[in-house]
Amino acid sequence: MPLTSSDAAPADLADSADLAAVPRKPNRHGGPEGNRRLTAAVGALLLVLFAAQGVTILFLGQLLSWHFFIGMLLIGPVCLKIGVTGYRFVRYYTGDPAYRRQGPPHLLLRLLAPLVLATTVALLATGSTLALLGRDTGPVPVLLLHKVSFVCWATAMTAHVLTHVWRLPRLIGADLRRRSAHRDGPRIGGALVRWSLLAAALGAGLAIALAGTPLASSHW
C-alpha cells in the first residue's frame, strides 16, 4: 500500500476536472515540489540533530550541557519544519490548485502528523522549562513530563521517519544536482531560497542555544 501522496491518487481529487481547467502557473519558488524538497531537507537535518541528542541522553551525566545546547539548537529547524508543513496544509485546505493537484499526504500520515507535532512541542517546551527553572519546578513535575513526552515523541517520530526516510535522497538530491536528472521531475526554481531558509533556521537555533545553554547550566 503506497504511503505518500505522490504514490496514490487521493480520493478527494473528485474535482480534478475543475483542477484541470485551472491553468498551471509556473512558481518561482517551486510550488508544492519546492515545499516537498524543503520539508525533506529539514527532516534530514533534524535526523542528524536527533542522533546527536540521543548520544547526550545515553551519557547525560557527562553531556548535560551538550543536551541543553543541542536541545535548544533544534528549536530553529523544528520551527521551520512546522512552518513548511503547515504552509502546505493551509494551501491545500484553502484550495490552491497546485497543492490540490499534488494531493494530501496519505490518511495514516495525516493521522500521525498531529502526534508528531504535539509530542515535539511538548518535548522542547518541557526541556526549555527545565532550563529556565532548574530542578525545582514547584507542583508541576516538569522533568517527569519531559521524560513522558520523550517516550511518546520517540514512538511517533520512529513511525514518521520509517515512512519518509526513503524519499530523502531523491528530494534532497534534486536540489543538490546542478543539472536535474529525469527522476527529479520538472525543473523548478527556488533552491537557493530553500537552502537559505535552512541556514537561517539553523542560525536561529544556534543563537538560542548560545544564549540559553549558560543559563540552563547555571540551574543544573
List interacting residues with ligand HEM (CB under 6 A). Answer: 4, 36, 39-40, 43-44, 46-47, 50, 53, 57, 60, 64, 67-68, 71-72, 74, 78, 81-82, 85, 105, 109, 113, 116-117, 120, 123-124, 127-128, 130-131, 143, 146-147, 150, 160-161, 164-165, 167-168, 216, 220
**Separation CA 42–CA 15 (nearest Å):** 32
Measured in degrees and rounded to the nearest 5, phi and psi for residue 29 equal: -100, 10
Nearest distance, CB of residue 18 and ligand HEM, angstroms: 23
* Closer to ligand HEM by Cβ: residue 36 or 194: 36
Residue number, 19 or 112, with CB nearest to ligand HEM: 112
Q: How far is the CB of 180 from ligand HEM (least distance, A)?
A: 18
Distance of CA 94 to the CA centre of its chain: 21
Q: b/e for 144-183, b at 16 or more Cβ within 10 A? A: ebbeebbeebeebbeebeebbeebeebbbebbeeeeeeee
CB of 124 to ligand HEM, least distance (A): 5
Closer to ligand HEM by Cβ: residue 68 or 202: 68
Smallest gap from residue 21 Cβ to ligand HEM (A): 25
> For residues 65 and 59, what is the distance between their CA atoms, to the nearest angstrom?
11
Q: Which residues contact 87 (CB under 8 A, 6 or more apart)?
A: 35
Residue 116 or 188 having the CB closest to ligand HEM:
116
Among 79, 66, 78, smallest CA distance to 216 is for 66
Name the residue nearer to ligand HEM (CB basis): 29 or 167.
Answer: 167
